[in-house]
Chains A and B, each alone.
Chain A
Amino acid sequence: MTIANTILAIFQIQVLLYTLLGIVLGMILGALPGFTGSMGIALLIPITYTMEPVAALVMLMAIYTAGIYGGSISAILLHTPGAPSSAATADDGYALTVQGRGLQALGVSTVCSSIGGFMSGIALIFIAPWLAKICLIFGPAEKFMVAVFGLTIIGSLCSGGVVKGLLAGTLGLAISCIGVDAQTGYPRFMYGNDYLASGLATIPVLIGLFSISQIFLMSETHTGSNKAIVDTALSKLHGRLLPTAKELGKLLIPTIRSTIIGIAVGIMPGAGGDIASFLAVNVGKQSSKHPDEYGKGSMEAVACSETANNAVSGGAMIPLLTLSIPGAPTAALLLGGFTMHGLIPGSELFTKHADIIYPILSGFTFSNVLMCVIGLLAARYIARVVSIPMSILAPVITVMATLGCYSVNLSFLDVWAMVIFGLLGYLMVKHKMVTSPIVLAIILGPIAEQSLLQSITLSRSTFILLYYLSRPIVLVMVALSVFSIVWTVIREKKVKKA
């Protein structure tokens, strides 16, 4: 398959049109609270059955990557992460919007998302088989330690209140136990409600903690003797959209680092953009010259988060296409799309079906470039949403979020979860507690529990601690976890002294 043929294949009108459709649909679904690109993929897969494979699969993969990017739009402008992978962007992105720099935040998010997705596409095309081998060295013990390392990040998320942050984290761990336990089939904290069999869905919790809580906070402002709410616009956004060359230069190292983190996390099965973005922000904060800005409006944090979560999109396809192991939950959906079109993962995919797979992967890589162009062109118009008075925006967000949460499982339990977590999030923010540890713990809890119990099974008669200590990667993760905790404690002490 020559490069010329590949380029010809992706620049056919049909493929280009479906790529464009995928990007726009992904951005819209990603931006709407409660809806995700995954929903779009799930609904469109059956429709793509009659389509030509290159067009079909490029469209689906474009929805994937654009859906992740779209989630950052509402996260930045409205503190409403459109998807779990944008949760790490919400605090800094929204703080920038309140400061009037939301347009730049959108610009940085657009460019960095595209870079992350593009680089992961390049990795997917050229070095997928070698990278796939990395995922095979992670067994249950390693995955447990990765989850533990992810949980130690919670400490760094809570500035000025480690106890409160850990309290939120352990609450998230407890919530993650809801549902039928895979090991024993025992229903935990379900109280007879079948909708809880798979646990509380992440999206309603996310929307509640970030978006609905913000709506409650906004409603506090009132003035005048009649206590009417001042009908103010959130902010008038001003300034540049695209960062200057100097600003981009400062963001270069965080972007490169976050790309690598995103691809690495994407390769690891089960870990998605949500984990990658939190991890990238944490590493960015540890390496930054201005760590105190993180959480209060750091452009670096936005760059780290958005690069990493889009880099996951290509990274997750690496084990999927080589070993049939989905690197992220959305990749599992895409597997159905590939097999439906007769593209079976494995070595033959890149040889026997080279004339189809390489255009698909190239199309995916190119879609990130197209996404950047569309995102930048649309950003100024999209950003006008913050000029809409809160009196209109808040009820509209509530209605959309309600429908979005309902659509997850076609259940009102999720809607009620959104409302209750909205109140919880409001009370937490009022008491200076950070809400993101709950989300991170809900995502990592099941991975940690399942991996721990599996590693106990695999350790057989070996004492479990010895089993863990005999594994090199586990030792590396233990070191990283200890470093993460120690660094957090030292930083806290420095802040208190200052």
Chain B
Amino acid sequence: MTNDQRGKFISNDLIIGAFLAIVAVIFLAQAVNFRGISRYFPTMALSLFLILSLCEFGMGIRKTLRVRRGLADDVNPELKARPFTLFGLMCVYVFCIQHIGFFVTSAIYLPVAMLLYGQRDSKKIVPVTIGVLAFLYWMFVIQMKLHMPNAWLF
């Protein structure tokens, strides 16, 4: 690590610890107001969660200071954009299933996702799309009579 990198280093544990501690406080504030004995277990679990978040925060501070003082080397994991793009695509996919329909949306999602992953051979994309959807339809709609979501299309 360069000196500049060391000087600017903030351990992800610090950020994670702080974020989780805030989340714990938000939910703990709700849990303590639950009626009667129903508040005991969530309060206990969230209190433990808060304590451990603070421990994580403390460990993050320690790591940050050690790196900045040159006493240790550490790197934060690199988060790339592609998984988040996929996450966004999955969200769109689920949203569309609810409103358009499972099979129509999946018939669009499968080839798009395969292309996004780098598949370029249409001789694989088309049969896989048709085959998977046909199998799911036969197995779960016909045989097991699974009730598909009510949507605009099928």
Contacts and interface: CB of A to CB of B under 8 A. Distances in A.
Contact, chains A and B (beta carbon distance below 8 A) = yes
Contact of B114 (A167, A189, A395, A431): A395
Contact of B117 (A181, A231, A452): A231
A422 B48 contact: no
B123 to A, nearest CB: 12
Interface in B57-101: 59, 77, 79-80, 82-83, 86-87, 90-91, 93-94, 97-98
Majority SS at the chain A contact face: helix
B41 A452 contact: yes
A403 B102 contact: yes
Given A222-B82, A431-B77, A392 B38 contact: no
Chain A interface size range:
35 or more
A390 B37 CA distance: 49
A171 B24 CA distance: 9
B10 interface: no
B49 A230 contact: no
A95 B55 CA distance: 30
Contacts of A163: 52, 55-56, 59
Contacts of B8: none
B121 to A, nearest CB: 9
A174 B45 contact: yes
B86 A399 contact: no
A412 B34 CA distance: 27
A229 B34 CA distance: 49
B3 interface: no
Interface string A449-482: 1001100000000000000000000000000000
Contacts of B37: 183-184, 453
A40 B37 CA distance: 37
A222 to B, nearest CB: 7
Which of B79, B116, B128, B144 has the most chain A CB atoms closer than 10 A to its own CB? B144
A446 B49 CA distance: 17
Contacts of B49: 167, 170-171, 173-174
Given A392-B119, A395-B110, A395-B114, A186 B82 contact: no
Nearest to A212: B90
Contacts of B45: 170, 173-174, 176-177, 445
Chain B interface size range:
35 or more
Nearest to B146: A407
A394 B48 contact: no
A220 B83 contact: yes
Contacts of B41: 173, 177, 445, 448-449, 452-453
A133 B74 CA distance: 55
Which of B59, B94, B116 has the most chain A CB atoms closer than 10 A to its own CB? B94
A172 to B, nearest CB: 9
A45 to B, nearest CB: 13
Nearest to B50: A170
A253 interface: no
Given A231-B119, A449-B41, A395 B82 contact: no
Contact of A398 (B40, B46, B90): B90
Interface string A366-403: 00000000000000000000000111101110111011
A183 B41 CA distance: 12
B16 A229 contact: no
B25 interface: no
A400 B132 CA distance: 9
Contact of B94 (A177, A188, A415): A415
Given A174-B45, A174-B46, A229-B117, A419 B94 contact: yes
Contacts of A422: 87, 90
A216 interface: yes
Interface in A396-454: 396, 398-400, 402-403, 406-407, 410, 412, 415-416, 419, 422-423, 426-427, 430-432, 445, 448-449, 452-453
A228 interface: yes
A402 to B, nearest CB: 7
Contacts of B56: 163-164, 167
Interface of A: 28, 39-40, 43, 163-164, 166-167, 170-171, 173-174, 176-177, 181, 183-184, 186, 188-189, 212, 215-217, 219-220, 222, 228-231, 389-392, 394-396, 398-400, 402-403, 406-407, 410, 412, 415-416, 419, 422-423, 426-427, 430-432, 445, 448-449, 452-453
Given A173-B45, A220-B80, A229-B82, 4 more contacts: A188-B31, A391-B117, A396-B132, A430-B79
12 contacts: A163-B59, A167-B56, A173-B41, A176-B45, A177-B41, A188-B38, A189-B42, A229-B118, A396-B132, A398-B109, A399-B133, A445-B45
